Amino acid sequence: MATLPDLVSLVLFLRAVDSSSLSKAAEQSNIALAAASRRISLLEHLYGVQLLYRSTKGVQPTPAGKALAEHARALLANAEKMQTALSDYAEGVKGHVRIQANTSAITQFLPGDLAATTNPDGGCPCTGAPQACRLSRPKQGCRNISRGNAH
């Protein structure tokens, strides 16, 4: 597997590009200028290209740096989406609920019981057997729902 850059270095790189200053990027990232410079150098070494033109007036991205900035923005946006998606699982508000019930309970009681649960995503798409119903966002602290003799 190829070596990948760490997200902290990519954020630092984007801050340097956006501010045209490695000093400002280091300050925004709460790291020393020497550490910031080292992280950028490691990115350059990883890809084998110069990413920034450095001068006394600041930094500017090279053509390779512009390409990296574009990809880094997309990667960080996807990482943020991933964090958001997984946080629902970590907080216990997203998952699967399996309900087993006999036919009578499914037709008589289950619709009312399911309507009483909070499901902001709307609906309760049933998958597989009629007894298996998947809730996208079950109410936090929700108890098991069971009716009849589900064996």
97 or 124: which leads in pLDDT: 97
Residue 120 — pLDDT band, cuts 50, 70, 90? low
Residue 123: pLDDT over 60 = no
Q: Which distant-in-sequence residues (6+ apart) come within 8 Å of 149 by Cβ? A: 102
Residue 63 — pLDDT band, cuts 50, 70, 90? very high
Residue 48: pLDDT over 80 = yes
CATH code, 7-90 = 1.10.10.10
What are the extents of the domains in the chain?
Answer: 7-90, 93-151
What is the mean pLDDT of the segment spanning 48-77? 96
What is the mean pLDDT of the segment spanning 70-92? 87
The CB-side HSE value for 25 (13 A sphere, CA atoms) comes to 26
Residue 112 — pLDDT band, cuts 50, 70, 90? confident
Separation between Cα atoms, residue 85 and residue 123, nearest integer Å: 20
Judge residue 68's burial from the number of C-beta atoms within 10 Å of its C-beta, 0-12 exposed, 13-18 middle, 19 or more buried: buried
97 or 24: which leads in pLDDT: 24
